[in-house]
Structure 1
Amino acid sequence: MPQIEELPEAGDGDIFPLTAVQQSYRLGRAADEPMGDVACHIYFEFDGPEIDWARMASAFLELQRRHSILRAAFPDDAEDAVILSEPVARLRVLDLTADQNGSHTRQLDRLRSEMSSQKMAVDQGHTMDVRLSVLPGRRSRLHIDIDHLAADHPGIRVLLSDLADLYVGHDGDPVGDFAAYRRAGHDDEPAPDIDAWRRRLADRELAPPPLPLTADPSTCSGARFARRGIELAPERWARLTRKAEQNEVEIGAVLLAAYAHTLGRWCANPDFLINLPVFDRPGSTRMVGDFTRLIVLTFDATGPGTLRELVDVVDVVAREYRSGRSPEFASAAAALRTIARKRKEATPLLGVVYTDLIETPWTTARFEETFGSMAWTITQSPQVWLDCVCFQHGGGVRMAWDAAEELFAPQVLDSMVEYCGSVLDAFVERLWDEALPDSLPRRQREARARVNASKRVESGKLLHQR
């Protein structure tokens, strides 16, 4: 098999096979799929100084020429994609400089609503949408939407970095070509170790966390996602990182442990599965494409009693995966399909996800100097109703909960996020051999206080005199 650096670039009309995950993304766009009619994509907004729209338009075109995956068309009914000869996407500019009374915020809100839930015409080669809002006071807002059919999260970092480089006239570093990489037979999903998976899932239900939902996800489609989350400021993030090092656990395991424990607090059955995307990229880290693999965390919320016991459960799984000692992590989706078929059960929708992106910031220093800082972002995925995405932000870390709002009863998500924050606070402030937080969320405490506030003025009479 040829080395990655020896592969030729894809040309006009070249066809390459989709990965298993890309196929699932494409299928999830169909309205007749459970939790379908949704594109798997991420939308960003960056607020910064004035941007030269002509230079930006040129940089965006050159970015599409540089990365052939941005010229890939993904037909609805095919297992392959085809590279187009020329870019099809163009920069769109919205001039709001005439608005001096603040009403431009309504137009920005409408644009956010549109782009954060759109399905780009990927069958025609539209996998990245870049728009520029020109604001009063020589300010700009840059809107960027990228479909995961074209790029996983590390690949998106490359695209953002290269866009800034091309805008300032810097050629950038060499990149690999994903289409050629796939045509050469790389990254075919390995066969799952069914016996290993059967041992791991023995006596377990093949199901996501049974959260208190208002509707059956398998009957829903076209969900709209909303974001809420937890901010760990730089000082608290540094303290949490030191605590993890002192306790010899991976910092990512601490965040995942807090999330998993919170799910368990709201579940009817505390023994469940969480979907974890990981990115097994080749040696060329600047190749843009989708290298996502899905692994599954088995979690029993009844086991851990202390902070240390909780994080140890998750840390063992993380270390096993990274060491490569656990073959059952390969091809989780295929393994679950096989086991479900042997059990004569339907293939489960593992719609609760944890995405760890804390290793590297989204944007480079050059990007932020040129286009500004990230003001807002949200992810959306088919067959998912809750995705916890952790990423660096402002020197700290943001734990964002992106959820299909309509499936949850009012205030449930707010209460879960609040409780998860209290677990993270405990990891920061307390010794890890102490018990897990047992406090109710603030809204529940207030509701109980109102119900129990039954005092009234005494009449001075005995009961039989009333």
Structure 2
Amino acid sequence: MTRLQCAYQLAESMDFDLCGIECSVYIEFKTRNLDYDRLNNAWKEVYKRHPALRGRIVEDGYIEYVDFNGFEDIILINKNDDAKKICQEMIKRENSNMAVLLAYKEARKVKKMYFSMNIILADPLSFQIILEDLSNYYIKGKFETEINDEKINEYFDIVWKTSRQEKKKDRQYWKEKITDYGICYKIPACFRKNYTKEYESHKAYLDKESYASLLKCSKKYGVSLEMVLLSIFALAVKEEVKEEKIVINYPLFEREKSYEDCVGDFSKNLLAGLDLRNLTSFKSLVLKVFNQIKEYKSHLSLDGLEVMTLYNSYLLDDNYKEALVFSPSIKKDLISKDFLEQIGDIVEISSKTPDVALDAQTYKIKDTLFFIWVVPKNWFNKGQIEKMFKKYMSLCEKYANENQWEKGEDFKAKELKGELA
């Protein structure tokens, strides 16, 4: 298990309140009159292919894989059943089930399909791999690539066997670095203690022209599209919190080629302190963020969870400090074009992470970007996140125009006052 997985496991075993939910993703599809038997067979093959779908966490912190657990078949439901609620119950950790596929069918044709996955054992790229494999096997009767199950175990062995000397060196680096960090998003204790199982989300697609322009700009300046989007997010947060030094939890979903088709948690958590002072243009912001992240990535032997612990110890006050999560998973399409053309189209997607104030997710779909921000209800002032989300979308559209990259209207000195909420 990774350190973050261990943290969730420990929290659950000690009955910490995690808002009563699992780390999960839920996707609903309107399907194209699929053959049920053929789809069920494809799901069985996907289940066999990826051990993580049959994984369960045992008491000593290891992951145990079982041959079958009763969920290798598609679960049929009625038209009026609450598919999301059924999925949420079925993927609970105590049920030893990491993923489930539900379907509603008429005669032998599947009309709707519901996929859900507990992502404590897998990163966002994993459920994209699962759905791509499902469509490949349904359409072609085979998978595109071969995978080696042992690769997953090799990866986690490497993660845990990081040298003590390297960790000691990086711990000292982060201890010094966080003294110059800014603030996390501050939530008053009265809000933060108001735990809820209810979440709300804000969703939007970026128009295809803006997406293509942002991609073109990122290539021109030698940075990834993720860095451009992170810079825009930082700018939106800066305007809301009225601070020029902010902290963002930035998960990294980069994989080595040997693991690119495996299901598992290959992510690394980076607690990024971003210094937005002394900027003259959006171009200067992007390049500064790029260089800051590049430096941080060379000190990842100490996990972001451990860095967050150091940070919280350093900044002691009466408020809860929340590092907002910015999580772009755009290395590949959320749903492949073959899937969309022959399997079905997305009706709804939602992803939840317990004890996270804001999970700002980004996916690539249909030749553009899909943004979804998920927040617990009652943790923020009314309209606060909606306002920031609208600002973020307007900035994405604005900086899709390359002519705006050199202008400095968003970087003129402004009076900074007050705290969030």
Give the TM-score of the pair, scaled to structure 1. 0.76
Mapped to 2, the partners of 1:189 and 1:331 lie a distance apart of 13
1:334 aligns with 2:306: yes
Mapped to 1, the partners of 2:161 and 2:305 lie a distance apart of 10
Residue from 68, 79, 99 that aligns with 1:86: 68
- Give ranges in structure 2 of 5+ residues lacking alignment: 412-421
Which residue matches 1:252?
A: 226
1:204 aligns with 2:181: yes
* Equivalence map 1:205-224=2 (5 Å): 208-210=184-186, 215-217=190-192, 219-224=193-198
Which residue matches 1:160?
A: 131
From the superposition, tell whether residues 248 and 121 of structure 1 become closer, same or farther in structure 2 (CA, over 3 Å): closer
Mapped to 1, the partners of 2:151 and 2:55 lie a distance apart of 9
Tell me how far 1:163 sits from its aligned partner: 1.6
* Equivalence map 1:32-47=2 (5 Å): 32-33=15-16, 35-47=18-30
Tell me how far 1:133 sits from its aligned partner: 2.5
Tell me how far 1:389 sits from its aligned partner: 1.0
Mapped to 1, the partners of 2:307 and 2:339 lie a distance apart of 41
Residue from 195, 202, 205 that aligns with 1:228: 202
Q: Which structure has the larger Rg?
A: 1
Is contact 2:25-2:350 (8 Å) kept? yes
From the superposition, tell whether residues 305 and 401 of structure 1 become closer, same or farther in structure 2 (CA, over 3 Å): farther
Which residue matches 1:434?
A: 407
1:239 aligns with 2:216: no
* Equivalence map 1:106-185=2 (5 Å): 107=80, 110-112=82-84, 114=85, 120-134=91-105, 140-168=111-139, 169-177=141-149, 181=153, 185=157
Mapped to 1, the partners of 2:13 and 2:290 lie a distance apart of 37
Is contact 2:204-2:372 (8 Å) kept? yes
Is contact 1:275-1:354 (8 Å) kept? yes
Residue from 406, 418, 424 that aligns with 2:396: 424
Residue identity in the other structure for 2:119:
H
Which residue matches 2:241?
A: 267
Tell me how far 1:74 sits from its aligned partner: 1.9
Tell me how far 1:288 sits from its aligned partner: 1.4
Mapped to 2, the partners of 1:164 and 1:433 lie a distance apart of 44
Mapped to 1, the partners of 2:121 and 2:378 lie a distance apart of 28
Is contact 1:41-1:148 (8 Å) kept? yes
Tell me how far 1:86 sits from its aligned partner: 1.6
Mapped to 1, the partners of 2:200 and 2:161 lie a distance apart of 32
From the superposition, tell whether residues 349 and 288 of structure 1 become closer, same or farther in structure 2 (CA, over 3 Å): farther
Residue identity in the other structure for 2:345:
S
From the superposition, tell whether residues 189 and 140 of structure 1 become closer, same or farther in structure 2 (CA, over 3 Å): farther
* Secondary structure class of the residue paired with 1:176: coil
Number of residue pairs matched by the alignment: 402
- CA displacement 1:293-312 (0-9 Å, x = unmatched): 10111124454353223222
1:277 aligns with 2:251: yes
Residue identity in the other structure for 2:25:
I
Deviates more, 1:342-351 or 1:151-160: 342-351
Indicate the RMSD between aligned Cα atoms, in angstroms. Answer: 3.3
Is contact 2:25-2:349 (8 Å) kept? yes
1:388 aligns with 2:360: yes
Mapped to 2, the partners of 1:264 and 1:29 lie a distance apart of 34
Tell me how far 1:178 sits from its aligned partner: 5.8
Residue identity in the other structure for 2:210:
R
Is contact 1:361-1:392 (8 Å) kept? yes
- CA displacement 1:62-103 (0-9 Å, x = unmatched): 32222222111224x54122222323214222343xxxxxxx
Residue identity in the other structure for 1:267:
V
Is contact 1:209-1:269 (8 Å) kept? no
Mapped to 2, the partners of 1:42 and 1:197 lie a distance apart of 32
Tell me how far 1:172 sits from its aligned partner: 4.1
Mapped to 1, the partners of 2:8 and 2:318 lie a distance apart of 19
Is contact 1:41-1:379 (8 Å) kept? yes
Is contact 2:252-2:267 (8 Å) kept? yes
- Give ranges in structure 1 of 5+ residues lacking alignment: 1-17, 97-106, 439-466
Mapped to 2, the partners of 1:180 and 1:238 lie a distance apart of 35
Mapped to 1, the partners of 2:350 and 2:11 lie a distance apart of 18
Deviates more, 1:386-395 or 1:312-321: 312-321
Mapped to 2, the partners of 1:79 and 1:220 lie a distance apart of 30
* Secondary structure class of the residue paired with 1:195: helix
